[in-house]
Amino acid sequence: MESFELRKFLSAIERYKITNLQIAPPILIMLDKRPEVKDYDLSSVREIVCGAAPVPLELQARISQRFGFKFTIGWGMTELTCTGTSIPGGMTENSGSVGFLLPNIDAKLVDESGYEVANGQRGEILIKGPNVCLGYWRKPDATKSLFDEEGWLQTGDVAIKNSDGLFWIVDRKKV
């Protein structure tokens, strides 16, 4: 699709029997609210992966119940070449978690002073790995502000991690 149009999107799902969708929250809201959705057969869809912004648990539950989809949320950012965390295939997670770190990625959560926080406490996600960008093209000042002195990418996203390694995005760092 050159640009998003709900009816064309729904028609493509119906026509091509699409089984997995990767969508942003505004499309999820359309699936929940728009009346024309009922005019299409979406029974081929087995799973939705949603990212780009927080998704309220109530919306996740309504979509899952209404359509019978498995619903997964992930977290990432352009500077990570997309994804940083996700729920593994086959796992069901209904707490609103954005999942586990992907392989080969290191992350830590730090407080406002830069000290690492314990599991269950809020902290900004700092991340390292082969998927992390080297910096912003021809923008050395922006690149310098992106990384801390040890080379950790400062995401600006505030999360909580539990002892199992699941992450929840809870806020955005105030700059």
Distance separating alpha carbons of residues 17 and 145, to the nearest angstrom: 45
Where among 73, 94, 110 does a domain terminate? 73
The reply to whether 93 falls in a domain is no
pLDDT 10s digits, 96-155: 899 999 999 999 999 999 999 999 999 999 999 999 999 999 999 999 999 999 999 999
Count of structural domains within the chain: 2
The reply to whether 134 falls in a domain is yes
> What residue numbers bound the domain in which 149 lies?
102-175
Q: 160 pLDDT band (50/70/90 cuts)? A: very high
Is residue 73 over pLDDT 80?
yes
Burial of 116 (0-12, 13-18, 19+ CB in 10 A): exposed
The position carrying tokens 């407080």 is: 111
The reply to whether 97 falls in a domain is no
Arithmetic mean of pLDDT over the chain:
92
Where among 55, 73, 91 does a domain terminate? 73
* Same domain as 110, residue 61: no
pLDDT at site 175: 64
Distance separating alpha carbons of residues 125 and 161, to the nearest angstrom: 10
Distance separating alpha carbons of residues 167 and 75, to the nearest angstrom: 9
The reply to whether 106 falls in a domain is yes
- Write the CATH number for 23: 3.40.50.980
> 157 and 172 in contact (C-beta within 8 Å)?
yes
The reply to whether 94 falls in a domain is no
* Same domain as 117, residue 63: no
The reply to whether 20 falls in a domain is yes
* Same domain as 111, residue 67: no
Distance separating alpha carbons of residues 63 and 106, to the nearest angstrom: 32
What global pTM score does this model have? 0.82
Angle at 102 between CA 92 and CA 64, to 5 degrees: 25
pLDDT 10s digits, 5-19: 999 999 999 999 999
The reply to whether 95 falls in a domain is no
Picking from 12, 16, 73, 26, the residue whose alpha carbon sits closest to that of residue 47 is 73
- Write the CATH number for 141: 2.30.38.10
